[in-house]
Amino acid sequence: MYSGKLFDNINCGPLALKNRIAMAPLTRQCADDDGTPNDEMVAYYARRARGGIGLIITEGTYPADNLSGVGYLNQPGCETDKHQAGWKKVADACHKHGAKIILQLMHAGRVADPRTIKEGEQPVSASDTKSTGWVLYTDNDTELHDRGLSGDWPQVNFPPARSLTEDDLNAVADDFAAAAKRAIDAGCDGVEVHGANGYLLYQFTDPKQNLRTDAYGGSAENNMRFPNMVVDRIRAAIGPDKLISYRISQDGVDDFTGFWEAGQSYVEALGVELGKMDADVIHWSSFNWKDNRFDPSAPPVPVTLKKISGKPFITNGNIFDGASAEDVFDQAAGDIVAVGRPTFAHPDWAYIVASGMDYDWMEFDRKYVIKPAYDYTYAYPTGLPERDWAPNAKMKR
Ligand SMILES: Cc1cc2nc3c(=O)[nH]c(=O)nc-3n(C[C@H](O)[C@H](O)[C@H](O)COP(=O)(O)O)c2cc1C
């Protein structure tokens, strides 16, 4: 049997979690066309809750179809009564299996899928900039056809973005707060504010994209002013008893080897700002949490951010088994681990690890991600039985 800290109970802000395993937020574009979470999504999340995850962090969800807030077709929203009712079904199903669930709220900013931008509107960002584009993360034939793309890993381009005015900033922060309130009313245990991976709030944190000369740009403190404003409004809307997580990264979807040019000094300054934020926990997002691209002899970025901010950390990136999770705790890089691709491929990841048995890990395959084929019944069974799963090292499906 596995005997590490991964299955210890832990308190995270106001939440008592049964273990230290979070499911990382993973976009799937499976909601109904109007952004309503549907029964397939209920089954998908419930399946992973049943698999033993302590904290489900949902896929990035748009707060409002406003100012390029919607990032993807069939992305779920949390803006309407219908959305809220859909999320209630998801939250209830996860709770039934003993997991807590927080809803990730994300505004796409300049990397919103151009097809989601309304006629006559322009995507928004921290400054007047244009993304260099990104590689499309799908094997879905319809999506390739709709976008007129072909081949493996095709490139998607984005139109130029305009900088948000002070009025816009207030409107977006209010949208986040209203959506967070809806998430709580739907039964979620909190929210995660997506400040990572290239989306709007990251566009403020990344000095390459934030060229503002007002109070919202020019230093780590100013770059974090808008993220802080969003968190403060959410706190005012949902109160102290619900969790707020803030997710941050160096990489963006259009900058997979993101690099903060001021290096370690910027990391340290961000650590100070994160320490002041009214979030209960900070979530480091990466594809390998051990990376330090400025100075390989310096500690991994989340170690520095955690130490300087003094906040609890959820740490993510290339954690795939019990030993790689323990490493996070041993190096004081995080209190909770967030596991992404492995929980896509293996809904029972937690129980497989708990069993301590050798397991033939299936390679993560992007075709199971965005609009997965519905015959992939292993991952998406409906009519879930009560949790009575017994780890079985031979079982792949
Ligand atoms: C298909 C896919 C979709 C993702 N969607 C989101 C998302 O909606 N929100 C987010 O913060 N990160 C998203 N991520 C990033 C993951 O949460 C995570 O940071 C990344 O997969 C690395 O962690 P892992 O090594 O455990 O997979 C996504 C990653 C993948 C592969």
Q: pLDDT (tens digit, 9 = 90+) per residue, 236-285? A: 999 999 999 999 999 999 988 888 988 999 999 999 999 999 999 999 99
- Cα of 26 vs centre of ligand 1, distance in Å, is 5
| pLDDT value of residue 149 | 75
Nearest CA to ligand 1 atom 30: 26
pLDDT in tens, 83-104: 999 999 999 999 999 999 999 9
Distance CA 277, CA 152 (A): 41
Q: Is 153 a member of any domain? A: no
CATH of the domain at 319: 3.20.20.70
| Mean pLDDT of all residues in 140-167 | 81
3-state DSSP helix/strand/coil percent for the chain, to nearest 5?
Answer: 35, 15, 50
pTM: 0.93
pLDDT in tens, 210-220: 999 999 999 99
Element (H, E) at 205: helix 200-205
pLDDT in tens, 99-127: 999 999 999 999 998 888 988 999 999 99
Distance CA 140, CA 239 (A): 41
Question: Does any ligand 1 atom lie closer than 6 A to the CB of residue 317?
Answer: yes
Question: Does any ligand 1 atom lie closer than 6 A to the CB of residue 196?
Answer: yes
Provide CB contacts within 8 A for 57, sequence distance 6+: 22, 23, 24, 25, 101, 102, 104, 192, 245, 283, 338
Q: Name the residue range of residue 242's domain.
A: 10-128+160-368
Query: What is the domain count for the chain?
Result: 1
Span of 92-106, 144-158, 195-209, 319-333 with lowest mean pLDDT: 144-158
Sign of the CA dihedral running 116, 122, 127, 128? positive
- Token pair of 259, please? 């690099």
Q: Is 258 a member of any domain? A: yes
Does pLDDT of 395 surpass 60? no
- Cα of 27 vs centre of ligand 1, distance in Å, is 7
pLDDT in tens, 2-51: 778 999 999 999 999 999 999 999 998 889 999 999 988 898 899 899 99
Q: Which atom of ligand 1 is nearest to the CA of 320?
A: 26
| pLDDT value of residue 368 | 55
| pLDDT value of residue 312 | 98
Provide CB contacts within 8 A for 39, sequence distance 6+: 89, 382
Nearest CA to ligand 1 atom 12: 25
Question: Does any ligand 1 atom lie closer than 6 A to the CB of residue 107?
Answer: no
Q: Is 54 a member of any domain? A: yes
Question: Does any ligand 1 atom lie closer than 6 A to the CB of residue 197?
Answer: yes
- Catalytic residue numbers, as ranges: 199
- Token pair of 269, please? 């300054």
Residue owning tokens 């005997």: 3
Q: Which atom of ligand 1 is nearest to the CA of 24?
A: 17
Question: Does any ligand 1 atom lie closer than 6 A to the CB of residue 22?
Answer: no
* Burial of 165 from C-beta contacts in 10 A (0-12 / 13-18 / 19+): exposed
Q: What's the pLDDT band for 70 if we cut at 50, 70, 90?
A: very high
Give yes or no for a contact between 212 and 224, defined as CB atoms under 8 angstroms apart: no
Q: Is 75 a member of any domain? A: yes
Q: Is 60 a member of any domain? A: yes
Ligand 1 pocket test: pick from 21, 26, 366, 367 the residue with the most ligand atoms within 8 Å of its Cβ.
Answer: 26
Q: What's the pLDDT band for 383 if we cut at 50, 70, 90?
A: very low
Q: Is 353 a member of any domain? A: yes
Provide CB contacts within 8 A for 286, sequence distance 6+: 249, 250, 251, 301, 302, 316, 317, 318
Q: Is 379 a member of any domain? A: no
Q: Is 192 a member of any domain? A: yes
| pLDDT value of residue 352 | 85
| pLDDT value of residue 376 | 43
